[in-house]
Structure 1
């Protein structure tokens, strides 16, 4: 039994190894890789039937990534400055912005007033606004792509619109006879009628 196990182990040796066998003094068969005995015989081993190892799989090709959208280092509102109070009886205002670098091809400026897009979205960073309600508002400017997606946006900043009524203006600067029809707060319809001098007719 021991000899059988030894023989099986020898079969697992590489084909290049030399194996010899002989009978020792006690009559046992011995297997060895050294021909130490004169009566040792060389054994021809059958080639191994091990399957060749498969070549290592090639690493997957890198997935192509889409080009990163160009970025803007600076986007700011030039006018008005944050927390500015605008005094205009008509509620008119011109908002201007700038970006660094300059606006990329296919991009546009968009103005937000109280979170809603207002004015005309386009290449111009100048937004004329009219008839803004009196009170505090929030301004922000965005840069959008051709699909209207926001690429950059300024922080919202407060704006205070102070609209003086015509009555308040007349109180500060009363209308004179020559102001009617000239100053907006002095319309012709409010011009008081002129007093006519009645000639004196003596009684006879």
Structure 2
């Protein structure tokens, strides 16, 4: 053990001094830095590997393992009025559309109405929409909830609506135009007003 410790000590000092070795009278291998002892021979030691060490920096910290907050969601969004596949009869083509969501509208969100796939108006906090002069025929209605960036959060399935508008001819047939109605009622244009008959004065036969 003593011999091993001596070897390590000598090797550790190899960069500072030359090392010599010899065998003493007892047959032990001896290392020394004195070349003149016995028949000491010089030991060749390979240079040691060296590297510069940078000052230790702060230990890297693992990113926090936090899941992002879930986006607000809705359990229900549907159109209350009109009912799916409803037929609405209105001579002016006016229609009231109402929707409901559960839960209520989250902050920063808004309702908007689509008719035949086209957005009608701007999103708002009210789920009630008023349409005017909707063309006669079948239309597709849908309501969306959008966020502040206009991204769709929730959407109802499209549902059909049948708008029944009475034509002017049908109105005139149901309620014939009178002389004072021409130029007043849309179905009684002034150009259709019949000419007034002039009474021919009675001339006695002479």
What interval of TM-score do these two structures reach, taking the shorter chain for normalisation? 0.5 to 0.7
What residue is the counterpart of 1:147 in the other structure? 149
What residue is the counterpart of 1:81 in the other structure? 83
State the secondary structure of the residue aligned to 2:186: coil
Which runs of 5 or more residues in structure 1 are unaligned? Answer: 1-59
State the secondary structure of the residue aligned to 1:137: strand
Which runs of 5 or more residues in structure 2 are unaligned? Answer: 1-61
Q: Contact 2:123–2:146 (CA<8 Å) still a contact in 1?
A: no
What residue is the counterpart of 2:130 in the other structure? 128
Q: Contact 2:177–2:188 (CA<8 Å) still a contact in 1?
A: yes
State the secondary structure of the residue aligned to 2:173: helix
Query: Runs in 1 of length 4+ with deviation above 6 angstroms?
Result: none
What residue is the counterpart of 2:106 in the other structure? 104
What residue is the counterpart of 1:166 in the other structure? 168
| Alignment partner of 2:178 out of 170, 173, 176 | 176
Q: Deviations over 1:50-102 (max 9, x none)?
A: xxxxxxxxxx6653222111222221212111111122233221211122222
Q: CA RMSD in A?
A: 2.2
> Matched residues in 1 for 2:189 and 2:197: separation?
19
Q: Compute the displacement of 1:182 (Å).
A: 4.2
Query: How many residues are matched?
Result: 146
> Matched residues in 1 for 2:143 and 2:194: separation?
48
